[in-house]
Amino acid sequence: RVRDHRAREQPPPKPSPLAVPPPRPGGEAPASRSWRSRLAIGLGGLLLVFLIAGMPYAGAVAALLILLTGRIVWRIQRRLFERREARGAQRNDSVVAALAAPWDVVAAAVPCLAQLLVAAAGALLVGGMLDLLDAGGARTPSIGAAIVATWLVWRGPGTVRSRHGIRAILAPLDRSREVGWVVLGALFVMACGAVLIFDSFGAGWWPADLSLTDLDGWRG
């Protein structure tokens, strides 16, 4: 009876934090999100949209790097938090994080590739539908597809960890005006360059450069 009473009083075991980790390292303050970091995210999104629309392969590589970098940063922060919670802050924390970086890259690659495939599938679906409906101009399918792909890269399923990592990377922009203006200026120049390239050369992927009349001609 005593054993049964003790068994009833014991609380249920808590789930392992490694099995279902939270979006941000537990107990750690989220990355600051002032207007500088938000503007940097917006300019980066604009750059990615026109990069995907004009140069899809380069846009895919950029999207994969964004997902991978954010998730790796999240994993490093999570590991450091758990290590410091268990043993306290130590001098070799940075060394341990650096030694585990190759494993972080491997562990983050598979989910990031899956998220990239989801973004590509959504982009092709929307672009194909806009092309079939003949909505807008000749560049509308590529722009619509690029917007959907960028949105899925940032807000798609499983991207919450990458978002946290990117916000953590952009946190210094909120603490230093000089760094913020330099980064924002660089992003603005690159975004304007991507817009000008797209305006000059147009889209570089299907369905923007391939119409149904071309397919009918090949069949005939």
Residue 33: predicted pLDDT: 62
**Mean of the pLDDT values across residues 110-119?**
93
**How many degrees, rounded to 5, is the angle at CA 160 between CA 103 and CA 172?**
80
**79 versus 115: which is more confidently predicted?**
115
**206 versus 101: which is more confidently predicted?**
101
**How many degrees, rounded to 5, is the angle at CA 165 between CA 159 and CA 167?**
105
Dihedral sign for Cα atoms in the order 89, 92, 93, 94: positive
Residue 103: predicted pLDDT: 76
pLDDT reading at 187 higher than 90: yes
pLDDT reading at 37 higher than 70: yes
Residue 16: predicted pLDDT: 42
Residue 19: predicted pLDDT: 37
Residue 175: predicted pLDDT: 83
Residue 212: predicted pLDDT: 42
Report the C-alpha dihedral over residues 129, 133, 136, 138, rounded to 10 degrees.
Answer: 70
Confidence of residue 29 (pLDDT cuts 50, 70, 90): very low
The pTM score is 0.72
Residue 35: predicted pLDDT: 86
CA distance 177 to 36: 9
164 within 8 A of 78, measured Cβ to Cβ:
no
**13 versus 59: which is more confidently predicted?**
59
Residue 55: predicted pLDDT: 86
**Mean of the pLDDT values across residues 179-183?**
91
The mean predicted confidence, pLDDT, of the chain is 76
CA distance 177 to 29: 21
Residue 218: predicted pLDDT: 42
Residue 34: predicted pLDDT: 77
Amino acid identity of residue 100, one-letter, is A
pLDDT reading at 196 higher than 80: yes
